[in-house]
Amino acid sequence: DAKTTQPPSMDCAEGRAANLPCNHSTISGNEYVYWYRQIHSQGPQYIIHGLKNNETNEMASLIITEDRKSSTLILPHATLRDTAVYYCIVRVAPNYGGSQGNLIFGKGTKLSVKP
């Protein structure tokens, strides 16, 4: 079972920041928080991941609380193309030798960006 809890759906106005929350209260010390999104009829797309520090890349920012029990994915200026299902996933760090932790998806948050 997924180790995360996300709201089933959210709306966001185009051009505004989209803040997607995720609860992972049982996260272990060696587990990372990963975010993927899936646009309709496409395969999931990697967005960002982090362990305990906040992370930022060209797509989004990831804010992880100090106790690591929750996180927020921030899309700073949402566009209509950001409409998708967003998945928050907790997984162990992949190890060398091929023992890479698989991704356990929940149902995610369906984000609708509206004009």
Partner 1 sequence: DAGVTQSPTHLIKTRGQQVTLRCSPKSGHDTVSWYQQALGQGPQFIFQYYEEEERQRGNFPDRFSGHQFPNYSSELNVNALLLGDSALYLCASSFLTGAGDEQFFGPGTRLTVL
**Residue closer to partner 1, measured from CB, 26 or 100:** 100
Count of alpha carbons within 13 Å of 3, Cβ hemisphere only? Answer: 20
| CB-based contact 3:104 (threshold 8 Å) | yes
**Residue closer to partner 1, measured from CB, 5 or 14:** 5
- Tokens coding 62: 């990831």
Please list every residue from 46 through 105 that binds partner 1, using CB under 8 A: 46, 49, 85, 87, 93-96, 98-100, 102-105
User: What DSSP designation does 90 have?
Assistant: E
Query: What does the binding site for partner 1 look like in residue numbers (CB under 8 A)?
Result: 2, 32, 41-46, 49, 85, 87, 93-96, 98-100, 102-108
